[in-house]
Amino acid sequence: MTAASKPAQQPPVDNSYWVIVPAAGSGKRMGADKPKQYLPLLGQPLIAHTLQNILSWPGLAGIVVAIAANDRDFATLVEAANPRVHTVTGGAERADSVLAALDYLSTQAAPETSVLVHDAARPLVSVDDIRALAAADPMALLAQPASDTVKRAAQSGDKSCVTETLPREQIWLAQTPQKAPLETLRQCLQQGLKANPTAITDEASALELAGFKPQLVPACRSNFKVTHPADLVLAEALLQHRQQSGAQSGIQQ
Ligand code: C5P
């Protein structure tokens, strides 16, 4: 067989990535009678959509979901029976839940394993965005460049007043997934939580505190975090649109 007649070689799929899904929050801002990750979205619990999107990504080795100690809902999900889905008990804050999952993962995977941390409350994450993040620097996060004018504010009595307009082109809104090597992220989170726990609001902030500069990867606008009741209405409309159009990807910016 000549080189020209050989069938084209497909590069092997790298399916060595682990995903951590913190899902141990109570979702107080939603004001619902159950945590937001279990609220119905197009007839399924919100977290089921999140897990289905991640499970459909060919790069996946496994998922570790951090759930609350008193969680009675997770075990009822179809996805809970998937052999690639593992669970751990989460902690008081999101960072504690992520750290619990990293501690478990360090008994299952090599220290340099690439880990993506993704909020259970972002059900519209697209496989295209996950792929773009996987292809970026070893430390990277999905994020949205600011589209509004951004103001710094200070409290003045019972009002908030503008003190400054920030240069918008330098402002990005962090989303998830956020990616880093397993052991580096674990150590940065442990050290960050000791040094300045209130500053650790995502994985990137722990990496930044240790001097790293994670890459920002532009994400689809539809990858928002369901936080307030209106977000649930929007998420349902976008999912319906995605199902009707048969699209796997998110709504572009
Ligand atoms: O509350 P917030 O929307 O910032 O939570 C982001 C994600 O972190 C959610 O998926 C939530 O379930 C999770 N979380 C957690 N453990 C906590 C608090 C939040 O896993 N203690």
Predicted model pTM: 0.93
Lowest mean pLDDT among 17-21, 27-31, 199-203: 27-31
Atom of ligand 1 nearest to the CA of 29: 1
- Report yes or no on 114 lying in a domain: yes
What pLDDT band is residue 33 in, cutting at 50, 70 and 90?
confident
Q: What is the mean pLDDT of residues 105-121?
A: 97
47 C-beta closer than 6 A to ligand 1: no
134 secondary structure, DSSP code: H
Q: How far, in Å, from the CA of 247 to the mean position of ligand 1?
A: 28
What pLDDT band is residue 14 in, cutting at 50, 70 and 90?
confident
Q: Which of 119, 173, 201, 223 to mutate to test the pocket of ligand 1 (most atoms within 8 A of CB)?
A: 119
Cβ burial of 93 (10 Å; 0-12, 13-18, 19+) is middle
- Report yes or no on 156 lying in a domain: no
CATH of the domain at 39: 3.90.550.10
Task: Give the model confidence (pLDDT) of 90-112 as tens digits.
Answer: 999 999 999 999 999 999 999 99
Query: Which residue range is the domain that position 129 belongs to?
Result: 13-141+175-252
The overall average pLDDT reported for the chain is: 93
- Report yes or no on 38 lying in a domain: yes
30 C-beta closer than 6 A to ligand 1: no
How many distinct structural domains can be found in the chain? 1
Q: Is 42 helix (H, G, I), strand (E, B) or coil?
A: coil
User: Given this model, what pLDDT does residue 3 score?
Assistant: 54
Position 212 pLDDT exceeds 60 = yes
